[in-house]
Structure 1
């Protein structure tokens, strides 16, 4: 350790002890109080301090000011009382504590009204920046149901109840069906032969069924829709051809079937592309004299047929009235709208 520093500290301690034993005069007490208001620790310029050491190497050199000054607790507390701002405590420390809530207990009236008119995910709440666990699990469940609907198959038991035979398109598997829509619009050569041999030629109305993009939709809805449609057409004295089922068919496949059978009207019941609200929605496409090259504007569709949309029995009965109108005006789609107006 530096000998000069040791000497200075020793001398400082000795002076402090001597001052404590002596009686201070009023003038000295006032000076001490003024000194107490100075800085807690004084720092010296290192360069100047070393220069003094070089100039006066003697350990007996005394400094006019002490190296370290100490404050009494009373004096420090007295200084703090003059401060109007306490920087040691946060500004919000005095704010009243409230219970944290992830969301409001009650939804607004507008959100409640919207929830009554849509199955969409609104007003479901959140936990921080994420959906609630219940909401997330429901989302995953609906997504899994959509995948199952696309990759599922219509059971043989249902086809037997409907008393329909089955044909196929040029698609070989589900992956090809999804990636090659054009193959789903054409019948296989074997299926053409089967249809020509089993089906009635030149029917007034030809009903066809296909799983499309949702086998679940056919399983849940087609029986009620088909039976109600049959009943409706019979009540209207409209002839029905031979109904059959197409595995992995697309909507435009009705054009090729219209060419083969020369049907006047085709009603095509097919599973819709599933969503996260419903994976069981079915559509009914209707067209007057569909042939190869028919444009989409000539087709009509009644969609969203399921228990959460248009009830299957109601949809079947309504389709009968639509077919009657098409046969009356001999047009469908945009052409029907033009003739009606």
Structure 2
């Protein structure tokens, strides 16, 4: 190797070592006046002019690149954590089960109504027991509408059966007008078997709840018979109507020329009771009778008006109708 070249390399190495050992602190900090080589700003494009402008709200560049030895400035960025929600207006609350105790006002209301109040919830859903009870009541309501009165009950009451112009349950629900008219065969059967021009004509129909008739009609009917007998009021020939509506009593009244008709019919079931029955009364009902001329004793079931009590009370109402020769609003006016 060339001796002159070796000498030059050795001299350069020695100078470099002396320069590095001669300074105790390395040059790692830039002077305050030193400017970065490159700055990156958050920018927004001005679409109208086709230029890009820096956002005026931020005074500091997003990124600064310095030459060797320049300080690295770290920008602190606040981020959302689980302990501190982003939206302070709607704080996040931990899930808690509903308290088991009810307020005094809710407890007092529960004593006076079978409605579903104060049943509680599990989060956003009803409790399992409440939901199952609701499903059970709904199924009972469906069974009441689509059910049928048994032949055994009709035999116990010693009544014969007639039908309306309705052919099936679906038509009965969707065509109330057909449930207000008797079939031609039924008209002939009624005229054949029933006593004409009775003081009181009792009729029975499943209506919208066969369960109501099964559960209540026997006690109501027997108590009503006994009450009218004690009052020496003549009773016509009772019969049963399948799929009848309330206004059917008008056609029967015109057909038999009865003074008073008592119509025992199953009520539309609810989600509290599917076994509720009503008793409609009217003085001389005829085709064209308005609803204001009718009277009704409703909610006849074990959770409402007891069937035996309802039957006895109906006898006194019939007596009042015959005395004033009126029913409904007109009876109230004559009494007053």
1:286 aligns with 2:288: no
TM-score (norm 1): 0.75
CA distance in 1, matches of 2:258, 2:194: 11
| SS of corresponding position for 1:322 | helix
CA distance in 1, matches of 2:149, 2:22: 110
1:205 aligns with 2:172: no
CA RMSD across the alignment: 3.2
One of 191, 200, 203 as aligned partner of 1:196? 191
User: Which structure shows the higher helix fraction?
Assistant: 1
Aligned to 2:326: 331
Shift of 1:340: 0.2
Aligned to 2:98: 103
| Cα distance change on mapping 1:69 and 1:245 into 2, 3 Å | same
1:261 aligns with 2:251: no
One of 32, 44, 52 as aligned partner of 2:38? 44
Shift of 1:262: 1.1
> Which deviations, in whole Å up to 9, do the C-alpha atoms of 1:25-44 show, x marking residues without a partner?
xxx49x86x77x9xxxx883
CA distance in 2, matches of 1:18, 1:133: 86
Return 5+ residue gaps in structure 1 as ranges. Answer: 1-16, 47-62
Map of 1:160-199 to 2, 5 A cutoff? 160-199=155-194
User: Which structure shows the higher strand fraction?
Assistant: 2
> Which deviations, in whole Å up to 9, do the C-alpha atoms of 1:33-90 show, x marking residues without a partner?
x77x9xxxx88359xxxxxxxxxxxxxxxx983278689xxxx9xx99xxxx986855
Aligned to 1:310: 305
CA distance in 1, matches of 2:149, 2:286: 27
> Which deviations, in whole Å up to 9, do the C-alpha atoms of 1:95-150 show, x marking residues without a partner?
xxx97423122111111111111111111212222222222222222111111111
| Cα distance change on mapping 1:193 and 1:69 into 2, 3 Å | same
One of 47, 57, 65 as aligned partner of 2:67? 65
Shift of 1:203: 1.1
Return 5+ residue gaps in structure 2 as ranges. Answer: 1-16, 41-64, 86-92
TM-score (norm 2): 0.77
Question: What is the aligned length?
Answer: 288
